[in-house]
């Protein structure tokens, strides 16, 4: 049996605080919207792959895999959230009868999704196959070390802030290493993009930094104190980060490879973009 006392020494702050019904409902809502959005976009990514030149189809397909994997993980967070509180006198009190909430599943899920998200970059940028393989490995190593060291540290958030911060710093070192590797891929991506869409990888760089940078903020937040507001704001930050680093990122990459496909002469992509400058250019190149 998991009790509040065990959660206190080895767990997440969600198990320490009593929530108002507003805070509890906000938490449920945030997690529900997150898994709902991820599942729904499986359809978008699978169908949008049909418009792309064959070599780029794997990019949105990987997004669909990420959506399924993250959606399942977030659904699990949602059901655990619901089981982890008991309604007593109009307040939601951490349950003492077996179920406790944990964010650790997120870190397990990132182990799958993060290497897939990173793999999408060199494939979308059309880098040579051997370079692509090398880049994927070079990005995945610091990424996995970043996640697993962060997982070790997040168990300290219920009071052992020395543990939280020590592993947080180690994890950040791997994050910096990852950022350097990603910058290398972005630079190659800018060089290898048709002139009309060189701005896309350049802008994606800033988008990557802004969205991935939300995760360490969410990690550090419990140091502000274990309160219902911190619990809800942290779940909100995780969700904004999840939707932007996976779902919106996937849309950006799939639109980029659609333009790439058209510029490289793939007719269905040019037709899909007919009302844009790139579509018009691709059509005139065909003599339409």
Binding site for ligand RET (CB under 6 A): 70, 110, 113-114, 117, 146-147, 150, 168, 171-172, 175, 212, 215-216, 219, 245-246
Rounded to a whole number of angstroms, the minimum distance from the CB of residue 135 to ligand RET is: 17
C-alpha 99: how far from chain center: 26
Write phi, then psi, for 86 (nearest 5 degrees): -120, 135
45 Cβ contact list (under 8 Å, min separation 6): 60, 61, 63, 64, 67, 250, 254
Place of tokens 């400058």: 277
What whole-number distance in Å separates Cα of residue 225 and Cα of residue 228? Answer: 9
Structure tokens at 187: 């630079």
What whole-number distance in Å separates Cα of residue 61 and Cα of residue 66? Answer: 9
Judged by beta carbon, residue 73 or residue 261, the one nearer ligand RET is: 73
Rounded to a whole number of angstroms, the minimum distance from the CB of residue 172 to ligand RET is: 5
Judged by beta carbon, residue 44 or residue 105, the one nearer ligand RET is: 105
Which residue lies nearest ligand RET, judged by its C-beta?
150
Judged by beta carbon, residue 48 or residue 211, the one nearer ligand RET is: 211
Judged by beta carbon, residue 160 or residue 271, the one nearer ligand RET is: 160
Judged by beta carbon, residue 118 or residue 197, the one nearer ligand RET is: 118
2 Cβ contact list (under 8 Å, min separation 6): 98, 99, 100
Rounded to a whole number of angstroms, the minimum distance from the CB of residue 151 to ligand RET is: 7
DSSP collapsed to 3 states, 3-53:
CHHHHHHCCCHHHCCCECHHHHHHHHHHHHHHHHHHHHHHHHHHHHHHHCC
Rounded to a whole number of angstroms, the minimum distance from the CB of residue 266 to ligand RET is: 29
Rounded to a whole number of angstroms, the minimum distance from the CB of residue 25 to ligand RET is: 25
Rounded to a whole number of angstroms, the minimum distance from the CB of residue 181 to ligand RET is: 13
Judged by beta carbon, residue 78 or residue 92, the one nearer ligand RET is: 78
Judged by beta carbon, residue 154 or residue 261, the one nearer ligand RET is: 154
H helix or E strand, kind and range, residue 88: strand 85-88
Helix axes 161-191, 199-212, angle to 10 degrees: 180
Judged by beta carbon, residue 93 or residue 240, the one nearer ligand RET is: 240
Rounded to a whole number of angstroms, the minimum distance from the CB of residue 37 to ligand RET is: 13
Closest by CA position to 182, among listed 200, 214, 206: 206
Rounded to a whole number of angstroms, the minimum distance from the CB of residue 216 to ligand RET is: 4
What whole-number distance in Å separates Cα of residue 251 and Cα of residue 42? Answer: 11
């Amino acid at each position: 049996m998991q009790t509040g006392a065990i959660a206190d020494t080895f767990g997440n702050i969600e198990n320490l605080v009593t929530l108002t019904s507003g805070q509890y409902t906000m938490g449920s809502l945030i997690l529900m919207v997150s898994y709902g959005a991820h599942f729904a976009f499986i359809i978008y990514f699978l169908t949008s792959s049909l418009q792309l030149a064959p070599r780029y189809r794997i990019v949105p397909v990987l997004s669909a895999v990420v959506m399924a994997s993250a959606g399942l993980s977030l659904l699990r967070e949602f059901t655990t959230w619901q089981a982890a509180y008991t309604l007593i006198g109009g307040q939601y009190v951490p349950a003492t009868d077996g179920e406790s909430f944990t964010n650790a599943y997120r870190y397990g899920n990132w182990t799958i999704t993060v290497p897939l998200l990173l793999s999408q970059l060199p494939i979308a940028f059309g880098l040579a196959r051997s370079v692509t393989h090398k880049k994927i490995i070079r990005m995945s190593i610091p990424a996995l070390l970043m996640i697993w060291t962060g997982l070790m540290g997040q168990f300290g958030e219920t009071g052992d802030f020395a543990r939280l911060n020590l592993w947080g710093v180690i994890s950040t070192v791997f994050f910096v290493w990852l950022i350097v590797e990603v910058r290398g891929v972005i630079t190659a991506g800018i060089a290898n993009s048709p002139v009309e869409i060189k701005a896309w990888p350049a802008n994606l760089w800033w988008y990557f930094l802004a969205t991935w940078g939300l995760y360490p903020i969410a990690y550090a937040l419990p140091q502000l104190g274990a309160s219902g507001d911190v619990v809800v704001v942290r779940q909100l930050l995780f969700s904004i980060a999840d939707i932007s680093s996976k779902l919106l990122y996937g849309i950006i990459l799939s639109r980029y490879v659609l333009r790439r496909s058209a510029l490289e002469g793939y007719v269905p992509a040019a037709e899909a973009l007919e009302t844009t400058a790139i579509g018009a250019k691709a059509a005139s190149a065909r003599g339409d």
